[in-house]
């Protein structure tokens, strides 16, 4: 290819330098220039390709208006005719990751254009697109930008030129779950024996077929008689009492809190507010019931629809929180609820 | 969190706007909500209408808790 290949870039409102959470509702717009990480990415292409334009879209807008957002992106692709589409990297940002993932999936499916994005392995966006697009494995925060861009650029370059990618661990992307035929020196039986011996000796070995991890939880049985049931409410939306007495982190939470609401009929502002650092908390701070609907649950309790609202509500911050911490919180909260004899739980997420 | 709580055999309903995330983490009972910064509210409505909307959404969540499911189920 003598001409430079063309890259269309996608970023959110933050990396697009439009603004923070207050701009998360912005609809997508196209700019025929390199914005934010697109600039660094363009540099990493070392003149072989060029970012011809950047689509900027608010994270909330994309996730709340997926169809419209994807339509805009598809329309832009038809006009710009890129050779590669690049999105992110989104690191461990959930909404941004979902946007990159949905975009990557849609573009890879509909156009025959390779898509490259970058995410932290725990980002929920990974699952959406890793088999359709190339997802470079990144750090969990934007501190990993400088490392991620050259890896993404190298992969984009290969894809644009039709060069086959090497194995995921060599190239730095998340495995797509594909099996490929390849030539090796030793036949299977010998490799199996080698592996077995290594294992006996306690040496390192690498399986050739990692087992997929399935972790589905059986749905718990339904509540038989709601009018006698105790219902607890829980949130990942960061609602805390004024002053945040337990110091729950505004992002990457290390802990959860439980607060007595037995004497309350609703969560009043400013007695409660959101400490969450991953969404615009103006609406929640105006009326915390918009995130934790205690007012309605108390109303249903008064009407006799439910037996009782559990005396505590449970809260943490969902943004950037590791899956392992979220599991730990869930286990701890669940144990507490089980011992308290709670019959059902409503968990709200922002 | 949803999954770990359900592991104790307590039915749990996830009220969330990005329902694709609830699905991918393995929630069994899901009620789609209004918007990311205000899942169970809508500041554009009058206080009365917003209250009614919230009551309807929480009503759906309660219905979900009293409904037997075998896998991921949306209650809309």
* Residuewise pLDDT in 10s, chain B (76 residues): 999 999 999 999 999 999 988 988 889 999 999 999 999 999 999 999 999 999 999 999 999 999 999 999 999 9
Task: Say whether pLDDT at A209 is over 80.
Answer: no
pLDDT, residue A227, reads 97
Of B38, B4, B6, B56, the C-alpha closest to A269 is B38
* CB A68, CB A102: distance < 8 Å: no
Tell me the C-alpha distance between A107 and A83, whole Å. Answer: 12
Alpha-carbon dihedral sign for residues A105, A111, A112, A115: negative
B14 in A contact zone (CB under 8 Å): yes
The ranges assigned to domains in chain B are: 2-72
Q: What is the pLDDT of residue B25?
A: 85
Region A290-297: mean pLDDT is 98
Mean pLDDT of chain A: 94
For the segment A77-104, what is each residue's pLDDT rounded down to a tens digit?
A: 999 999 999 999 999 999 999 999 999 9
Asked whether B24 and A127 are in contact (CB, 8 A), the reply is: yes
Q: Does A231 touch chain B (CB under 8 A)?
A: yes
Average pLDDT of the segment spanning A181-187: 87
For residues A194-203, give the mean pLDDT. 93
With both helix axes pointing from N to C terminus, report the angle between A66-80 and A94-110 in degrees, rounded to the nearest 10: 50
Q: Do A63 and B18 touch (CB under 8 A)?
A: yes
Q: Is B60 on the interface with A (CB under 8 A)?
A: no
The two structure tokens encoding residue A335: 């144990």
Q: Which of B20, B39, B41 sits opposite A349 (nearest CB)?
A: B39
pLDDT for the residue numbered A208:
81
Contact (Cβ atoms closer than 8 angstroms) between residue A8 and residue A160: no
Alpha helices in chain B (DSSP H): 2-6, 19-25, 47-65
Largest CA distance in chain A: 75
Task: Return the pLDDT at B1.
Answer: 95
For the stretch A14-44, pLDDT in tens is 999 999 999 999 999 999 999 999 999 999 9
Q: Which residues of B23-43 are buried (b: 16+ CB within 10 A; e: fewer)?
A: bbbbbbbbbbbbbbbbbbbbe
User: Angle of helix A37-44 relative to helix A145-160, nearest 10 degrees?
Assistant: 50
List, for residues A259-293, the tens digit of each pLDDT value: 999 999 999 999 999 999 999 999 999 999 999 99
For residue A344, the chain B residues in CB contact (below 8 A) are 10-13, 62, 65
Whether residue B63 contacts residue B23, with contact meaning beta carbons closer than 8 Å, is answered with no
What distance in Å separates the CA atoms of residue A298 and residue A287, rounded to the nearest whole number? 16
Tell me if chain A has a CB within 8 Å of the CB of B53: no
- Helix then strand count (H, E) for chain A reads 11, 13
| List of chain A residues whose C-beta atoms are within 8 Å of the C-beta of residue B67 | 222
Domains and CATH numbers, chain A: 5-171 (3.40.50.2000), 226-348 (no CATH)
pLDDT, residue A1, reads 46
Check pLDDT > 70 for residue A305: yes
Cα distance between residue B73 and residue B76, in whole Å: 10
pLDDT at A211: 67
Q: Which residue of B54, B57, B68 is in closest CB contact with A222? A: B68
Global ipTM:
0.98
Nearest CA in chain A to B28: A219
Report residue B62 CA to chain centroid gap.
9
* pLDDT at A320 exceeding the cut of 90: no
pLDDT confidence of residue B54: 97
β-pair partners for A50: A6
**Distance set, CA A214 to CA A38, A92, A115, A316, B25 (Å):** 36, 22, 27, 26, 11
> Span A140-152, mean pLDDT?
95
Q: Dihedral angle at the C-alpha atoms of A17, A22, A27, A31, nearest 10 degrees?
A: -10
Distances (CA, A) of A81 to A7, A44, A69: 9, 21, 18
The alpha carbon of residue A200 is apart from the nearest alpha carbon of chain B, in Å, by 35
**Exposure on the CB side of residue A59, measured as CA atoms within 13 A:** 27
Mutate to test the interface with A, among B12, B33, B60 (most CBs of A within 10 A): B12
What's residue A207's pLDDT?
83
Q: Is the peptide bond before A94 cis (omega within 30 degrees of 0)?
A: no
The C-alpha atoms of residue A116 and residue B55 are separated, in whole angstroms, by: 43
Residue A324 has pLDDT above 80, yes or no: yes
**Residues β-bridged to residue A29:** A56
pLDDT above 80: residue A210: no
Cα separation, B53 vs A276, in Å, equals: 24
């Amino acid at each position: 290819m003598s001409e430079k290949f063309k890259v269309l870039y996608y970023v959110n409102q933050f990396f697009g330098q439009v603004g923070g959470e207050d701009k998360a509702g912005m609809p997508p717009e196209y700019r025929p220039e390199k914005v934010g990480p697109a600039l660094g990415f363009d540099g990493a292409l070392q003149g072989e390709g060029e970012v011809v334009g950047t689509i900027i879209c608010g994270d909330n807008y994309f996730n709340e208006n997926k169809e419209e957002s994807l339509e805009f992106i598809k329309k832009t692709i038809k006009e710009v005719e890129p050779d590669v589409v690049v999105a992110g990297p989104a690191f461990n940002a959930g909404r941004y990751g979902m946007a990159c993932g949905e975009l990557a999936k849609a573009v890879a499916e509909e156009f025959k254009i390779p898509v490259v994005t970058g995410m932290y392995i725990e980002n929920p966006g990974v699952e959406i697109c890793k088999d359709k697009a190339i997802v470079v494995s990144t750090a969990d925060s934007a501190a990993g930008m400088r490392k991620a861009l050259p890896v993404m650029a190298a992969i984009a370059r290969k894809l644009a030129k039709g060069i086959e990618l090497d194995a995921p661990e060599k190239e730095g992307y998340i495995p797509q779950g594909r099996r490929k035929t390849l030539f090796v020196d030793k036949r299977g039986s010998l490799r199996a024996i080698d592996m077995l011996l290594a294992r006996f000796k306690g040496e390192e070995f690498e399986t050739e077929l990692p087992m997929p991890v399935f972790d589905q939880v059986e749905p718990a049985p339904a509540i038989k008689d709601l009018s006698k049931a105790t219902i607890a409410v829980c949130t990942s939306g960061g609602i805390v009492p004024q002053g945040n007495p337990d110091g729950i982190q505004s992002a990457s939470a290390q802990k959860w809190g439980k607060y007595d609401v037995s004497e309350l009929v609703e969560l009043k502002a400013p007695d409660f507010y959101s400490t969450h650092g991953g969404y615009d908390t103006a609406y929640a701070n105006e009326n915390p019931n918009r995130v934790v609907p205690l007012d309605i649950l108390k109303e249903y309790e008064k009407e006799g629809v439910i037996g009782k609202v559990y005396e505590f509500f449970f809260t943490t911050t969902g943004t950037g929180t590791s899956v392992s911490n979220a599991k730990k919180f869930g286990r701890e909260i669940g144990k507490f609820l089980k011992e308290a004899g709670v019959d059902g739980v409503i968990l709200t997420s922002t | 969190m949803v999954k770990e709580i359900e592991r104790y055999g307590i039915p749990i309903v996830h009220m969330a706007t990005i329902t694709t995330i609830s699905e991918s983490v393995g929630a069994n009972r899901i009620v789609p909500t209004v918007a990311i910064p205000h899942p169970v509210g809508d500041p554009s409505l009058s206080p009365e209408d917003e209250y009614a909307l919230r009551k309807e959404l929480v009503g759906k969540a309660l219905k979900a808790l009293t409904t037997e499911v075998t896998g991921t189920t949306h209650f809309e």
